[in-house]
Structure formats: structure tokens, C-alpha cells
Amino acid sequence: MKIFIPHVPAAAKRQELLSLVQDAVQPKWFLPFSKGGTVAKCNLIRILDMDTGSVEYHGLVEVYPEQTAEKAIRSLAGKQLNDYRLSARKWVDRTLMVAGRKNLPDGQIACKRRRNLEISIS
């Protein structure tokens, strides 16, 4: 499952975010024959709005299994990264096409995306 972490501080490093998520997926207590989840990918996304000049940073992390990812979402809520309080939620891919039509979550009929964005991933 992909986890979206909106509004990560600009000074944050990918390794710092990865470390925070890895701590969230590891079990808090040692139980025999149990292990935490796996962090498959961790990316920082930089979005530059060409119209306004504003820059945003977001985290996108892939965690398996899904049960552990849901636990990580709850665990990451309110955590601090560079003195900034984080939130986390399940990633929703809004580009899914079904029968030639966009299938958006929660009955949305149009995508709210902004135009003219420059996106870079690290």
C-alpha cells in the first residue's frame, strides 16, 4: 500500500523520512515469529506551481503488508519531522481509467488537480 505524507518540510531529507516510516512499521514489542512490515520505496516529491511560484514537498512511501501500512498511517499521524507535525493517509491514484472514463474516489466526477505543475521526485 502506498502512504501519502502531505506537506513535508522543505529541509527534510529522504533518509530522515525513511527512518521515521521504518520506525512506524516495526513492532513495539518483541513477539516470537512476528515481524514488522517492509518499506519498499520512499520518495520525496517536489511540486512547483508554475502559475504562482509556490513549492510544496510531499512524501510517498510504499509499505507491505497492507495491515502494517494501515498501522503506520496511524503511527505517523502527529509525528514530528524537523519540528513540523506530519499527517499521513492512504494514497489514491486518480489516473485510473475504467471503460474510457476516469474512476475517481468517493463519487467525484472531476479531478481537482491544478494545471501547469512541475513535479520532481527524489
Spell 17-31 as b/e; 16+ CB within 10 A means b: bbebbbebbeeeeee
Domain count, the chain: 1
Phi, psi of 106 (to 5 degrees): 55, 35
> What does the pLDDT look like over 52-71, one tens digit per residue?
899 999 999 999 999 999 99
Binning pLDDT at 50, 70 and 90, where does residue 120 land?
A: confident
Q: What does DSSP say about strands 117-121 and 38-49: parallel, antiparallel, or unpaired?
A: antiparallel
Domain that residue 7 falls in: 2-121
Calculate the alpha carbon distances from 90 to 26, 67, 97 in Å.
18, 12, 19
> 106 in helix, strand or coil?
helix
d(CA 35, CA 44) in angstroms, rounded, equals 26
Residue 97: which CATH number? 3.30.70.330
Return the pLDDT at 76: 92
